[in-house]
Amino acid sequence: MNRIDETFKELRRRKKKAFIPYVTAGDPDLKTTEKIVLSLAEAGADIIELGIPFSDPLADGKVIQRAVTRALASGTSVKKIFDMVRRLRRNTDVPLVFMTYYNTIFNHGLARFVRQAKDSGADGVIAADLPLEETEELKSQADKAEFDVIMLSAPTTPLGRFRKISSYSKGFIYYVSLTGVTGVRADLPEHLRNKMKQLKMNTKKPVCVGFGISNALQAGNIAKLADGVIVGSAIIEKIEKNLKNKSKMVREVGIFARSLAKAVHSVNGES
C-alpha cells in the first residue's frame, strides 16, 4: 500500500474527503515550486499534483498553458523535477502525483520514467492524453514498481468503458467534470450529482473531481459528491498574479489553499 492508498484509507476512517491541489512544476521556477508545494502541504493538501511541463498541453486552458510556458522558459526538465521531489521528501510525506502527457513519458522511456519517478519519492502519474487502449505497457511497468497510474474519465465516457477504466486505475480515478479544457468556471455542471452517484455505484475506488473548480464554496459542494476535489487553474492564477513578488506568491497560495482545504475537510460522511 503506497502513500495514496494510505491517505484515502485514513480519510475514509475519518469520514473526510481529499483536497488535491495542482501546480505546474517550474512555474515560475523550481525553487519557488518547492516552497509552494510545502506551503500546500502545510495548508492541508492530502495529495499534490505536480504538472510536468510539455510544449503542447492539449487538455489545459490558457492559465495552465501560460504556467507551462513560464516553466519551460525557466529551464525545467524531467530530471530537475525528480531532483526537486527528492528534496521535498526530506520535508513532507504528502503523496505526490505527476500530471503530464504521454510524449514526455515515452521519450524518457517508460521503465526509466517509472523507476526514476518512484526512486525520487513520487507516488503516481496521470497521463492526460493516454487512451485506455494504449495503457497496458505503462501500467505493466508501473505495477512492477508499485507506482500508480491514475486514469481519467469524462462526462462522455460510457459506463462500460468507465468500469474498465476503474479496473486499470490505481490510487484514484480522476473525473473530468466537464468537456473542454482546464480553467475556472463560474458554475459547475448540473449533471454532476447524478453522474457521481452512478459512478460510485460502479467502482470501489475513490473518484476525485477536477476541472473548473474555482473557489471554496464550489470545492465544498463537490466534496459532498466525490471522494476528492482537484483544484488547479485557480491556484495557478494566484501564482500568476504575484510573479513580481515570490514571497507574497507563496503566502497567497497558502492562504487560498487553506480556504479550499477547510471547505473540503468540513464535509462529513461518505458521498
Instruction: Identify the active-site residue in 5, 27, 46, 60.
Output: 60
Helix, coil or strand: residue 200:
helix
Q: Among this protein's residues, is 49 annotated catalytic?
A: yes
149 contacts 134 by C-beta, under 8 angstroms = no
Cα–chain center distance at 210: 8
Q: Among this protein's residues, is 60 annotated catalytic?
A: yes
DSSP character for 42? H
Q: Which of 73, 34, 67 is nearest to 250 (CA)?
A: 34
**C-alpha–C-alpha distance, residues 173 and 170, integer Å:** 7
Instruction: Identify the active-site residue in 49, 123, 227, 237.
Output: 49
40 contacts 68 by C-beta, under 8 angstroms = no
Single-letter amino acid code for the residue at 214 = S
Q: Which residues are catalytic?
A: 49, 60
